[in-house]
Chains A and B, each alone.
Chain A
Amino acid sequence: MTTYPLEVNRLTVAYQKKPVLNSVSFQIPSGKLIGVLGPNGAGKSTLLKAVLGLIPKVEGDVSIFGRPYREQRKSVGYVPQRESVDWDFPTNALDVVMMGRYGHLGWFRRPGAKERDIAMECLGKVGMADYAGRQISQLSGGQQQRVFLARALAQSANLYFMDEPFAGVDATTEKAIIQLLHELKDQGKTVMVVHHDLSTVQEYFDHILLLNGELVAAGPTKDIFTPNHLQKTYGGRIAMLQDFAAVPAGQV
């Protein structure tokens, strides 16, 4: 029997009383780029947070490489939505990337030269080595996103969760990020990405999850990315979505 990087069984999550995710079950395959799609408020961020144990689940279970998340923290990397932190915090890019190592340090060990080297290397991989000493509020949105990505790389994980890494970045940065995700995939890592731009789905992802409070469909992109499923996911706005594959990006 194979163990999946992520297996979710009948996961239900609620803030206050109203369930946001309703009995969601799926597995994701190993070594693939996986897209999580759905309209605003569909519960995409909530799904990632529940998997990572950041919010309590009402029901269901989650296993990561066959074990509970608690035992697998070191094999998981996380890129939260960029707006989730205060970018005026007094710290610089290198320091933020070093935070990716904290989980490996245990209770008392302090980050040292080794963590600094790893962090520098990760900043280099996202093309941000020149900005290591820059205060984070003085980075552009796209540069901040790259710093977050570098921080996740510093976690040296096997499974990555990324919440909208392409939000607010220009085409060049988006290309650079997708390139990096492909490198991770080539190293056998699994990357799950919350994504909004339907025009690039087929190009970017091997596998997708369509979410709308519940799981609409999950599977290989070529089977799942169909007008029918999109209509179920996005509801009335389908007219615009109908022949997405045919419309080149930028004209939408």
Chain B
Amino acid sequence: MADFWIILTGTLVAATCGVLGCFLVLRKMAMVGDAISHSVLPGIAIAFLISGSRDSILMLAGAAVLGLITVFLIQSLQNGGLQSDASIGIVFTALFAIGVILISRNAAHIDLDLDCVLFGEIAYVQWDTLIINGYDMGPAAVWLLGGTLLVVLIVIGLFYKQFKLCAFDPALAAAVGIPVALFHYLLMGLVSLSTVASFESVGAILVVGMLIVPASTAYLLTDRLSVMLIYSVLIGAASSIGGYYAAKWLDASIAGSMITVAGLLFVLAFVFSPLHGLVARYHKRRSLKAASA
């Protein structure tokens, strides 16, 4: 059963992050995903200090708020004339550092250790079960991630055309009356939510991998946004499954192995993708040369 729950958890993380990651990659905001995943740390710590428990709902709220604050601060610094990469770097390291202080200062009385926040503990998800009326409903993380995935799918499904146009041509989107800023913050809110939901299982650092790597791999494999979304989810799921067994085999970190597998899949796509891969490009160039010779 342990295998099943761990793989399911990993796959849910991969699916949620895979969908959102596509939009981040296309909007050239991959690093904003990175920033959010780090700067939600103080939100989690504060929620933890207030409630004294790992009450997930409060943590989700705290993290989502911090996520939006992060995006807002980055935007403000940029509007103030700072380069975008510098703005991102300043905001997320500062917030992350505050989170580290909050957690380490209170480490004595709170059961939230930094390693777990950074790297997650997917191996333990099955022990933390959700119990309703005395019934064991299965791992709490699975419910949390399943719920998050559902929210993400509903929001993206309902507003697919808006998210797509905002990513491709925000000027036209604004001109036809789509509230571009609203959808920007909605996307960022969803990213924050999924980051926190994913967090206990894969940790703050590796969740970035799940956001960016499968989406970038999918980007190399197709010329359609809808297909890219599906591929991104499938690649994420394959990474979770492959990563899990690789970890077992190597006796290594599960989350780490999952992202490593995602990285390997990316390299494969980068080299062999029939559309944009190195090999395909090499062949195209050679056949062009042959034709002109």
Is the pair B224, A92 in contact by a Cβ cutoff of 8 Å? yes
Interface size class of A (residues with CB under 8 A): 20 to 34
Interface size class of B (residues with CB under 8 A): 20 to 34
Tally the A-B contacts, defined by beta carbons under 8 Å: 73
Q: Is A84 an interface residue (CB 8 A)?
A: yes
Q: Is B223 an interface residue (CB 8 A)?
A: yes
Q: Is A135 an interface residue (CB 8 A)?
A: yes
Q: Is B94 an interface residue (CB 8 A)?
A: no
Is the pair B168, A99 in contact by a Cβ cutoff of 8 Å? yes
Report the nearest A residue to B80, measured CB to CB: A16
Q: Is A85 an interface residue (CB 8 A)?
A: yes
A110 touching B171 in the complex, CB below 8 Å, given contacts A91-B224, A92-B224: no
A197 shortest CB reach to chain B, Å: 24
B-facing residues in A71-120 (Cβ within 8 Å): 73, 76, 78, 80, 84-86, 89-92, 96, 99, 102-103, 105, 107-108, 110-111
A76 touching B175 in the complex, CB below 8 Å, given contacts A92-B224, A105-B161: yes
Partner pick for B223 among A49, A78, A90, A105, CB 8 A cutoff: A90
Is the pair B224, A84 in contact by a Cβ cutoff of 8 Å? no
Is the pair A89, B172 in contact by a Cβ cutoff of 8 Å? no
Q: Is B238 an interface residue (CB 8 A)?
A: no
A70 to B162, CA, bound (A): 18
Is the pair B175, A111 in contact by a Cβ cutoff of 8 Å? no
Q: Is A52 an interface residue (CB 8 A)?
A: yes
Is the pair A102, B168 in contact by a Cβ cutoff of 8 Å? no
Is the pair A53, B174 in contact by a Cβ cutoff of 8 Å? yes
Q: Is A246 an interface residue (CB 8 A)?
A: no
B-facing residues in A158-200 (Cβ within 8 Å): none
Main secondary structure of the interface of B (DSSP, over half): helix
Is the pair A89, B81 in contact by a Cβ cutoff of 8 Å? no
A90 touching B228 in the complex, CB below 8 Å, given contacts A78-B175, A103-B176: yes
A102 touching B178 in the complex, CB below 8 Å, given contacts A78-B172, A85-B169: yes
With a CB–CB cut-off of 8 A, which chain A residues contact B159?
107
Q: Is B132 an interface residue (CB 8 A)?
A: no
With a CB–CB cut-off of 8 A, which chain B residues contact A108?
158
A-facing residues in B149-175 (Cβ within 8 Å): 158-162, 164-165, 167-169, 171-175
A209 to B157, CA, bound (A): 44
Is the pair A73, B177 in contact by a Cβ cutoff of 8 Å? yes
B159 shortest CB reach to chain A, Å: 8
Report the nearest A residue to B81, measured CB to CB: A16
Q: Is A239 an interface residue (CB 8 A)?
A: no
A84 to B171, CA, bound (A): 8
Q: Is A240 an interface residue (CB 8 A)?
A: no
Is the pair B168, A89 in contact by a Cβ cutoff of 8 Å? yes
With a CB–CB cut-off of 8 A, which chain A residues contact B169?
80, 84-85, 99
Report the nearest A residue to B221, measured CB to CB: A90
A78 to B175, CA, bound (A): 8
Is the pair A99, B172 in contact by a Cβ cutoff of 8 Å? yes
Known interface pairs A85-B168, A90-B228; 16 further A-B residue pairs with C-beta atoms within 8 A, sorted by A's residue number:
A52-B175, A54-B175, A73-B177, A84-B169, A89-B26, A89-B168, A90-B223, A92-B223, A99-B165, A99-B169, A102-B162, A102-B165, A107-B159, A108-B158, A111-B161, A135-B223
A-B contact pairs, 13 of them (CB 8 A): A54-B175, A73-B176, A76-B175, A78-B172, A85-B168, A90-B222, A91-B164, A91-B225, A92-B224, A102-B176, A103-B175, A108-B158, A135-B223
Which residues of B are in contact with A by a Cβ distance under 8 Å? 26, 28, 81, 158-162, 164-165, 167-169, 171-178, 219, 222-225, 227-228
